[in-house]
Amino acid sequence: MSDAAIGNPIPAPVQVGLRDRFGRHLNYLRVSVTDRCNLRCVYCMPEDMKFRPKRELMSDQEMLTLVRIMAELGVTKLRLTGGEPAVRPNLVELVRTIAQIPGIREISMTTNGLLLPQLAEPLARAGLDRVNISIDTLDPAKFREITRWGNLADVWAGVEAAEAAGLQPIKLNAVVTREFNDDEVIDLARLSLEHAWQIRFIELMPFGSEADFAQGAVVSSQETKAKIEAELGPLHEVPGHDGHDPARPYRLAGARGSLGFISSVSEPFCAGCNRLRLTADGSLRLCLLRDGELDLLTLLRQGLDVEAIKQRIIASVYDKPWGHGLPGGEIPQLRLMSQIGG
């Protein structure tokens, strides 16, 4: 949908927190702490992925400086992403320091879970509130095929460690991919019957060199819902849904947990978007599915003072686009999903 279709942009407001020209309040920052990963999921990156040199990525101090700036501008909610964030050296100390930054009220992390048996308890003590764990299949052989070399048992150990450490509510993310795991959604949905978890089904999004594969493998949320209901019965919408949460929640009859559907491709939720993204190389990305970015790391390394950086951020955020251009064939090309952090 074009900006014009939304109506005339509102006048630039007096800055109280970060707002864009459509009046959306942007208080949620997703920080990619690394572009590296210990898996090579087929929908995310090529098997021979070449990662950026360390010197091109944010150091601990640079990352903390930019997070403090964003907190001073009104960011209250932070999610650590990757690549795989757990492979970042010194992650526990990073979380501990971020938790002490004034204004930051919530810290979460999206992870593949492989390193949680070692890290869940230290991260919880440091100030991490909860985790989202990626698990696309319950079949060990298929898990290895999707991830190229992963062990499903390691993920389950991570889920158990997260629960034991109190990193709750547990959310399990499954990217539904045609002819890879679309026949797994019923078994994944069944997990919500006995566990107080949210199982989240995510539509596959096309990026860069993986776009051709992704476009042919998209399974809509409606198709996933229909498949689940045909086997497990009606899905009941959970009342009180926060419009900022992209996962629209439903519950099966008698279930302890819930199911969430993230329909980025078929049913965009741009009106409720409150997100900004900081890539591992220090660029502020305004929309997951558009390539526009502000290179904050270069500004920081050039010695631009904090107040000047804040003004650049305010001006950039004000021009955040209304939504993505997938319906019109606009596919982000500059980065893979793993380089943005989702």
Q: Please determine, for residue 14, whether its predicted confidence score (pLDDT) is greater than 60.
A: no
pLDDT score, position 209: 46
Structure confidence by residue, pLDDT tens digits, 213-237: 455 688 999 999 999 999 999 999 9
Is residue 272 scored above 70 in pLDDT? Answer: yes
Where does 3-339 sit in CATH, by number? 3.20.20.70
Among left, alpha and beta (phi > 0; psi -120 to 50; other), residue 181 is alpha
**Would the pLDDT of 35 be above 80?**
yes
| Average pLDDT, integer, range 299-303 | 97
Cα–Cα distance, 199 to 132 (Å, whole number): 10
Gap between the Cα atoms of 270 and 51, Å rounded: 30
Q: How far apart are CA 38 and CA 7, in angstroms?
A: 45
On average, the pLDDT of the chain sits at 88
pLDDT greater than 90 at residue 328: no
Mean pLDDT for the stretch of residues 322-336: 64
Whether residue 27 contacts residue 251, with contact meaning beta carbons closer than 8 Å, is answered with: no
**What is the domain partition of the chain in residue ranges?**
3-339
For residue 341, the model assigns a pLDDT of: 66
Asked whether residue 144 carries a pLDDT value surpassing 80, the answer given is: yes
Query: What is the structure's pLDDT at 334?
Result: 64
Give the 3-state secondary structure percentages of the chain, helix then strand then coil, rounded to 5: 35, 20, 45
Which is more confidently placed, 48 or 113?
113
pLDDT of residue 73 exceeding 60, the answer is yes
**Is the pLDDT reported for residue 336 higher than 60?**
yes
What pLDDT band is residue 4 in, cutting at 50, 70 and 90? very low
Give the per-residue pLDDT at 112.
94
- Whether pTM exceeds 0.75: yes
Q: Does 289 score more than 80 pLDDT?
A: no
pLDDT at 52: 85
- Per-residue pLDDT at 61: 98
What would the mean pLDDT of 133-155 be, rounded to a whole number?
91
What's residue 41's pLDDT?
A: 78
Most confident stretch, 159-168, 267-276, 287-296: 159-168
* Predicted confidence (pLDDT) per residue in 80-138, tens digit: 999 899 999 999 999 999 999 999 999 999 999 999 999 999 999 999 999 999 998 99
Percent of the chain, pLDDT > 70? 87
